[in-house]
C-alpha cells in the first residue's frame, strides 16, 4: 500500500484482525471486551474496499493477544478474518479463523433458568449449529447479535 492509501499506522506489538466482514468491527471490539476504558491503543477501520470481501473492516489492538474463545466467537461473525500477531513491527504469525464446533465461556445464555445462570461453577458451552449457537445445557439458541451475549466476565 502506498503512503497515500495508508489509513492507520502499523503497530509495534499486538494483534491485527484483518479481513473482518464489513460493518462487524465494533462487534469484534465488544467480543474482546474493549470499550476504550482499558487504555489500550486501538485502531478501527470500517468499510474499506477489499478484493476478496467487497468491503472489509480492520481492528488493530496494541499490546494484547486474543484467547481461543475470543477467536472462536469472532469466526462466527467474521468467517474470513485473519488474525495477525505483531512483534516489533513484524507479522510473526498469521492465522485464518476456523468455525468452531463449540464455544466455551465468553458467551452467556439468555435463559435465566439455565444452570449456567444459577451461580453454579458451570462454564457456558454452546454448540455451533446452522441457526446460530445452541446452549449445551438448556438448548436455547442465540440466532443473531452474538456480540450482545458476551459475558462481561
Is 133 an interacting residue with respect to Zn ion (CB under 5 A)? no
With beta carbons less than 8 A apart as the criterion, state whether 137 and 120 touch. Answer: no
Per DSSP, the residues of 75-117 read: HHH-TT-EEEEEETTEEEEEEE----SEEESSB--S-TTSGGG
Find out whether 139 is annotated in a ligand binding site.
no
114 labeled binding residue: yes
**Within 15-34, which residues bind ligand CTP (CB under 6 A)?**
16, 18
Q: Using the 8-state DSSP alphabet, how is residue 38 labeled?
A: T
Q: Which stretch binds ligand CTP (CB under 6 A): 89-97, 100-108, 124-132, 138-146?
A: 89-97
Closer Cβ to ligand CTP, 97 or 109, answer by number = 97
Q: Is 138 in the site for Zn ion (CB under 5 A)?
A: yes
- All three cell numbers of 70, joined, read 475470543
- Helix then strand then coil, % of the chain, to nearest 5: 15, 35, 50
**What SS3 state is found at 115?**
helix
Q: How far is the CB of 136 from Zn ion (least distance, A)?
A: 8
Q: Strand 14-21 and strand 54-62: pairing?
A: antiparallel
The CB-of-129 to ligand CTP minimum distance in angstroms stands at: 29
The one-character DSSP state at 2 is -
Site for Zn ion in 88-127 (CB under 5 A): 109, 111, 114
Q: Three-state SS for 69?
A: helix
User: Binding residues for ligand CTP, how many (CB under 6 A)?
Assistant: 12
Q: Can residue 57 be called a binding residue for ligand CTP (CB under 6 A)?
A: no
**Binding region for Zn(2+):** 109, 114, 135, 138
Q: Which residues bind ligand CTP (CB under 6 A)?
A: 10-11, 16, 18, 58, 60, 82, 84, 86, 89, 91, 94
Amino acid at each position: 500500500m502506498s503512503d497515500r492509501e495508508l489509513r492507520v499506522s502499523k503497530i509495534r506489538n499486538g494483534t491485527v484482525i484483518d479481513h473482518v466482514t464489513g460493518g462487524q468491527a465494533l462487534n469484534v471490539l465488544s467480543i474482546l471486551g474493549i470499550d476504550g476504558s482499558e487504555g489500550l491503543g486501538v485502531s478501527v477501520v470500517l468499510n474499506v474496499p477489499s478484493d476478496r470481501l467487497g468491503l472489509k473492516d480492520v481492528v488493530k489492538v496494541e499490546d494484547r493477544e486474543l484467547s481461543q474463545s475470543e477467536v472462536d466467537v469472532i469466526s462466527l461473525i467474521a468467517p474470513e478474518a485473519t488474525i495477525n500477531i505483531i512483534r516489533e513491527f513484524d507479522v510473526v504469525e498469521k492465522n485464518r479463523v476456523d468455525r468452531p464446533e463449540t464455544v466455551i465461556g465468553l458467551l452467556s445464555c439468555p435463559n435465566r433458568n439455565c444452570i449456567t445462570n444459577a451461580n453454579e461453577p458451570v462454564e457456558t458451552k454452546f454448540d455451533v449449529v446452522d441457526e446460530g449457537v445452541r446452549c449445551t445445557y438448556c438448548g436455547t439458541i442465540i440466532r443473531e447479535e452474538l456480540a450482545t451475549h458476551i459475558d462481561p466476565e
